[in-house]
A and B are shown apart, each in its own frame.
Chain A
Amino acid sequence: MVEERSAKRRLTAVPSAAPPDVGDLLGSVARGDEDAFGKLYDLVAPRVFGLVRRVLRDPAQAEEVAQEVLVEVWRMAARFDPARGSASSWILTIAHRRAVDRVRSEQAATSRSIVVGVAAVETPYDAVADEVQGRLERQQVRRCLEDLTELQKQAVTLAYYQGHSYPRVAELLGAPLPTIKTRMRDGLIRLRDCLTTEVTA
Chain B
Amino acid sequence: MTDIHTLAGAYVLDAVDDIERASFDRHLRECAACRTEVDELQETAARLADATWSVPPPRLRENVLAEVARTRQLPPVAAPPVASPRRRAPRRWLLSAAASVVVAAAAAGTAVYVVQDQRVRDERAIAEAARSSEARVREILAAPDVQVREAAVTGGGRVTVASSRLHDAGVVVMAADSAPGGGQVYQLWTIRAGSDPKSEGALRVGQTATLSVVEGLPGASDVAVTVEPAGGSLQPTTTPVAQVPL
A38 to B13 CA separation, bound complex (whole angstroms): 28
Q: Are B56 and A63 in contact (CB under 8 A)?
A: yes
Query: Is B6 touching A181 in the complex (CB atoms < 8 A)?
Result: yes
- A164 neighbours in B (Cβ, 8 Å): 15
Cα distance, A71 to B70, chains bound together (Å)? 10
Main secondary structure of the interface of A (DSSP, over half): helix
Contact flags A184-195 to B (C-beta < 8 A → 1, else 0): 111111011001
User: Is A61 an interface residue, CB under 8 A from the partner?
Assistant: no
Complex-state Cα separation, A89 to B181, whole angstroms: 49
In the bound assembly, the distance between CA atoms of A116 and B17 in angstroms comes to 20
Of B71-79, B133-141, B153-161, B186-194, the stretch lying at the interface with chain A is: B71-79
Q: Which residues of the other chain, B, contact A31 by a CB distance below 8 angstroms?
A: 88
Query: Is there a chain A Cβ closer than 8 Å to B43's Cβ?
Result: yes
Q: Classify the interface of chain B: helix, strand, loop or mixed.
A: helix
The answer to the question of B29 belonging to the interface, with a C-beta cut-off of 8 Å to chain A, is: no
B103 CB to nearest chain A CB (Å):
7
Question: In the bound complex, do residue B12 and residue A188 qualify as a contact, i.e. CB atoms below 8 Å apart?
Answer: yes
**What is the distance, in angstroms, from A166's C-beta to the closest C-beta of chain B?**
4
Q: With the chains together, A45 CA to B72 CA distance in Å?
A: 21
A93-B67 contact in complex given A77-B73, A181-B9, C-beta closer than 8 Å = no
How many residues on the B side are at the interface (Cβ–Cβ under 8 A)? 52
Residue pair B67, A67 in contact (C-beta under 8 Å): yes
Shortest CB distance B66–A (Å): 10
Instruction: Decide if B234 is an interface residue (CB 8 Å cutoff).
Output: no
The answer to whether A159 and B56 touch (CB under 8 A), given A67-B64, A185-B6, A188-B44, is: no
Are B17 and A141 in contact, CB atoms less than 8 angstroms apart? no
CA gap between A165 and B92 in the complex, in Å = 35
- Could you say which of A75, A141, A169, A181 contacts B51, with CB atoms under 8 Å apart? A141
B16 adjacent to A66 (CB under 8 Å): no
User: Does A9 interact with chain B (Cβ within 8 Å)?
Assistant: no
Find chain B residues with CB under 8 A from A183 CB: 9
B106: interface (CB < 8 Å): yes
Which A residues are within 8 Å of any B CB, using their own CB?
23, 27, 30-32, 34, 37-38, 41-42, 45-47, 49-51, 53-54, 63, 66-67, 70-71, 74-79, 82-86, 88-89, 92-93, 95-97, 100, 123-124, 126-129, 134, 137-138, 140-142, 145, 156-157, 159-161, 163-166, 169, 178, 180-189, 191-192, 195
23 A-B contact pairs sorted by A residue (CB < 8 Å) = A45-B56, A49-B56, A54-B52, A63-B57, A67-B60, A71-B64, A75-B72, A78-B73, A84-B39, A85-B42, A123-B52, A138-B51, A145-B48, A156-B48, A160-B48, A161-B48, A161-B52, A169-B15, A180-B10, A184-B9, A184-B15, A185-B10, A187-B9
Seed contacts A70-B68, A134-B50; 15 additional CB < 8 Å A-B pairs: A27-B90, A34-B68, A45-B55, A77-B73, A85-B39, A96-B45, A97-B14, A137-B47, A156-B48, A159-B13, A161-B48, A165-B17, A166-B10, A184-B12, A192-B44
Nearest 8 interchain pairs by C-beta? A185-B9, A184-B9, A50-B54, A50-B52, A49-B56, A89-B46, A159-B13, A159-B15
